[in-house]
Chain A
Amino acid sequence: MKITFKLYATLQDLLPAGAVRNAVDIEVPESVTLNQIIDQHKVPRELAHLVLVNGIFHCAEDRDAPGMLKENDVLAIWPPVAGG
């Protein structure tokens, strides 16, 4: 299935070719876990701090469970960041 994959800040260089404005569409199996996508793109797990699916945060325990994604979902990841 197709999902949109986004990496931001110091992780953005790890995006695959073809990414525009931090986002790229990728094909993933339906049984995929969030950590499998994170590992596949060589994102260090300790830097996958904010892991959002359609804007909703997924904690570390969720990331090894299959079924967290469905067709056309948006997976966006940030390292630890802050501002204000």
Chain B
Amino acid sequence: MSWTRKILRVNLTNGTVQDEPLNMEWANDYLGQRGLATRYLVDEIDPKCDALGPDNKLIMTTGPLTGTIASTGGRYSVVCKSPLTGAVACSNSGGFFGAEMKFAGWDMVIFEGKSASPVYLHIENDVARLMPADDLWGQSVWAADHALRQKHQDPQVRIACVGRSAEQGCLYAAIVNDLHRAAGRSGVGTVMASKNLKAVVVRGTEGMGNVADPSQFMQTVKAGKKVLAENAVTGQGLPAYGTQVLMNVINEVGALPTRNMRDIQFEGANEVGGEAMHEPRKSDGKPNLTTNGACYACTIACGRISTIDRTHFSVKDKPEYWINSGGLEYEAAWALGPDTGVDDIDALTYANFLCNEDGMDPISFGSTVAAAMELFEEGVITTEHTGGMELKFGSAEALCWAAEVTAKGEGFGVDLGLGSKRLCEKYGRPELSMTVKGQEFPAYDPRGIQGMGLAYATSNRGACHLRGYTVASEILGIPEKTDPLESGGKAGLVKAFQDATAAVDSAGLCIFTTFAWTMDDIAPQVDAACEGDWSTERMMEVGERIWNLERDFNQKAGISGAEDTLPTRLLKEGAGSGPAQGRVSDLDQMLPEYYQLRGYGADGSMTDETRQKWSLPA
């Protein structure tokens, strides 16, 4: 039983905190983290509620392996209804915060209601208190983190916090923990700020004494770590180059969305990719990348710790940014770089620092800037709107300025905080928004990687690569190579990735382990840690149940199969270059088979039969 079996329920309206036992019947069906918290959310909120109203709830949740010595066992997720999409939000983060929650004795913290004034939650083992945060409101994540550490005088506290963007209503605000790890997508930070909750400070000293079969667990964990160490991706590639190694790969195969997805290859890709981060710069001879870094218990260490060139225009007069901090990961680098047409790695790193400092999802931010740049080039947005800034594709100055004004919610930054969908609607050009269900695309063009079109269209949280990463198979050959330009067979591939990912996300592990691990490596670790029998087959069943639970929530929220689609650009405008030249997404050829495999109606609706099969709540 690697669950602590304890939930902390925090009512922000009444200012109360109380503990309650974890629903173990649900834990048996949904494992933990993503699945289990979604089960609570489904039970406790009206899917049609206002995501930014007091009736929405925000759940910080761990998996049974969070806090253990299993490699990457430090993940936690934030689950709520998303203000960006209206769908279920589940954003996963690494760092050290999740493990600390577990060490303090909690599987989950459920926040409900809304505080009358700003507060933060302080947890020290079984003592949890709501504290005033009036002095922290209006501060960045980094400033608030510093102030909280000064106040509590404990260097080992772990802090998750929202920044000024969330306070100002930016709809893709993140919750940042450990300064530069984030529950990034779908606006979970916006929900947290809407409750007047600034931060959660946690310190746990109880450790993990609740593994079901410690001896077996040690053996399975050791075997798993050996697989990761001996695998070329998780043992060598990711530590050395991070996820940014993909920049040149995806550009070469002709699937790198460029300039708001007008183009599919970026001439400046090699200026902003993983290899470029290793190159010494002219000013001081140092590379952008200082070192790699690992989250709690991780033996891969893909994280990037970087500096910005001190002579760069963005920071030359700002020594507070002459620091080592969280560097570019692939998805962020893509959104800030190729999608805006900017090939200046220091500008990208600066914008990325600001996304961490004030808690913005860099994918949604970069994609929204890209949409704004296209609107500017079309003459729809002008310098009158921007206060004089020429918001042109390729302008590093415009990118850095956009990050500054959006982080603080100033001027045109308020419009940029709307996200791509609402921005394009506001300016009368909705077709220029590269979103699904209101959420911005990540870094793979579905015209060049056909399976990803289906994965984006059907993702339960809007456009997202982390709900079914068929790139692994279609491009990277993991577990086996499939043709990225072929749409046949992709329905089954997408479903398999979606189900497996839901299970991994519910265990407390990082999805990057699956570049080396199969479910046959993961299930034995869960089985040894948890009571009951957790076979590979059961894990896949749990994953499929979770997928359908999320889908059912969205349907009840009013999101129908009609929204399982892609922007017209990707369905009608052929790719301009590369292997996919002339191709569009073949979504219409994949979707019917996908619905059939899922047991949905021809219109994508959840059937009673499927609902009963997975014992979903009515």
Chain A residues in the interface with B (C-beta under 8 A): 6, 8-10, 12, 21-22, 47, 49-50, 52, 54-57, 59, 74, 76, 78-84
Query: Chain A contacts of B243 at CB under 8 A?
Result: 82-84
Whose C-beta in chain B lies nearest to the C-beta of A80? B232
Q: A10-B236, A22-B270 are in contact. Are A81 and B579 (CB under 8 A)?
A: no
A9 near B579 with CB under 8 A, answer no
B579 near A55 with CB under 8 A, answer yes
Whose C-beta in chain B lies nearest to the C-beta of A78? B249
For residues 236 through 284 of chain B, which have their beta carbon under 8 Å from a beta carbon of chain A? Answer: 236-238, 240-246, 248-249, 252-254, 270-271, 274-276
Query: Chain B contacts of A74 at CB under 8 A?
Result: 252
Min Cβ gap B333→A in Å is: 10
Contact of B275 among A22, A47, A56, A82 (CB under 8 A): A22
Q: Which 5 A-B pairs rank lowest in CB-CB distance, beginning with the nearest?
A: A83-B243, A80-B232, A83-B246, A82-B515, A81-B237
Listed stretches B26-34, B425-433, B469-477; interface member: B469-477
Query: Chain B contacts of A22 at CB under 8 A?
Result: 248, 270, 275
A52 near B270 with CB under 8 A, answer no
B103 at interface by CB-CB < 8 Å: no
A50 near B275 with CB under 8 A, answer no
For residues 464 through 520 of chain B, which have their beta carbon under 8 Å from a beta carbon of chain A? Answer: 465-466, 469, 471-472, 475-478, 481, 483, 511-512, 515
B294 at interface by CB-CB < 8 Å: no
B274 near A84 with CB under 8 A, answer no
Query: Chain A contacts of B469 at CB under 8 A?
Result: 84
B481 near A9 with CB under 8 A, answer no
Whose C-beta in chain A lies nearest to the C-beta of B444? A84
**Size of chain B's interface in residues, with CB distance under 8 A?**
43
B100 at interface by CB-CB < 8 Å: no
Assembled-state Cα–Cα distance A10/B475 (Å): 18
B233 at interface by CB-CB < 8 Å: yes
Whose C-beta in chain A lies nearest to the C-beta of B246? A83
Contact of B237 among A55, A59, A80, A84 (CB under 8 A): A80
B252 near A76 with CB under 8 A, answer yes
A10 near B471 with CB under 8 A, answer no
* Residue among B242, B249, B471 facing the most chain A CB atoms (10 A cut-off): B249
A81 near B275 with CB under 8 A, answer no
A55 near B578 with CB under 8 A, answer yes
B330 near A84 with CB under 8 A, answer yes
Whose C-beta in chain B lies nearest to the C-beta of A23? B270
Assembled-state Cα–Cα distance A54/B251 (Å): 11
Assembled-state Cα–Cα distance A48/B465 (Å): 26
Query: Chain B contacts of A57 at CB under 8 A?
Result: 253, 477, 481, 483
A8 near B472 with CB under 8 A, answer no
**Could you list 18 further interchain pairs (A-B, Cβ under 8 angstroms) beyond the known A8-B248, A10-B241, A83-B245?**
A10-B236, A12-B275, A22-B270, A50-B477, A52-B253, A55-B254, A57-B477, A76-B248, A79-B237, A80-B231, A80-B478, A81-B237, A82-B233, A82-B515, A83-B238, A83-B330, A84-B243, A84-B469
Whose C-beta in chain B lies nearest to the C-beta of A21? B270
Query: Chain A contacts of B276 at CB under 8 A?
Result: 21
B107 at interface by CB-CB < 8 Å: no
Q: A8-B245, A8-B249 are in contact. Are A84 and B471 (CB under 8 A)?
A: yes
Query: Chain B contacts of A8 at CB under 8 A?
Result: 245, 248-249, 275
A55 near B252 with CB under 8 A, answer yes
B331 at interface by CB-CB < 8 Å: yes
A81 near B578 with CB under 8 A, answer no
Query: Chain A contacts of B245 at CB under 8 A?
Result: 8-9, 78, 81-83
B330 near A49 with CB under 8 A, answer no
Contact of B232 among A6, A49, A59, A83 (CB under 8 A): A49
Min Cβ gap A8→B in Å is: 6
Query: Chain B contacts of A6 at CB under 8 A?
Result: 252
Min Cβ gap A73→B in Å is: 13
Query: Chain A contacts of B478 at CB under 8 A?
Result: 80, 82
B236 near A82 with CB under 8 A, answer no
B237 near A56 with CB under 8 A, answer no
Contact of B240 among A9, A59, A82, A84 (CB under 8 A): A9
For residues 135 through 168 of chain B, which have their beta carbon under 8 Å from a beta carbon of chain A? Answer: none
A84 near B232 with CB under 8 A, answer no
Assembled-state Cα–Cα distance A36/B538 (Å): 47
B246 near A81 with CB under 8 A, answer yes
B274 near A9 with CB under 8 A, answer yes
Min Cβ gap B467→A in Å is: 11
B246 near A54 with CB under 8 A, answer no
Min Cβ gap B513→A in Å is: 11
Whose C-beta in chain B lies nearest to the C-beta of A8? B248
Query: Chain A contacts of B249 at CB under 8 A?
Result: 8, 50, 78, 81
B465 near A84 with CB under 8 A, answer yes
Min Cβ gap B386→A in Å is: 33
B237 near A10 with CB under 8 A, answer yes
Q: A8-B249, A22-B270, A57-B481 are in contact. Are A50 and B476 (CB under 8 A)?
A: yes
Query: Chain B contacts of A47 at CB under 8 A?
Result: 232
Assembled-state Cα–Cα distance A76/B273 (Å): 15
Mark each residue of chain B from 441 to 455: 1 if its CB lies under 8 Å from any CB of chain A, else 0.
000000000000000
Assembled-state Cα–Cα distance A37/B248 (Å): 21
Assembled-state Cα–Cα distance A54/B471 (Å): 18
* Residue among A8, A54, A82 facing the most chain B CB atoms (10 A cut-off): A82
Assembled-state Cα–Cα distance A74/B275 (Å): 19
Assembled-state Cα–Cα distance A83/B252 (Å): 15
Q: List 5 A-B contacts (CB under 8 A).
A: A79-B232, A79-B236, A79-B237, A82-B512, A83-B329
Q: A9-B275, A47-B232, A49-B232 are in contact. Are A84 and B246 (CB under 8 A)?
A: yes
A10 near B240 with CB under 8 A, answer yes
Contact of B242 among A10, A55, A59, A83 (CB under 8 A): A83
A82 near B238 with CB under 8 A, answer yes
Min Cβ gap A19→B in Å is: 11
Min Cβ gap A60→B in Å is: 10
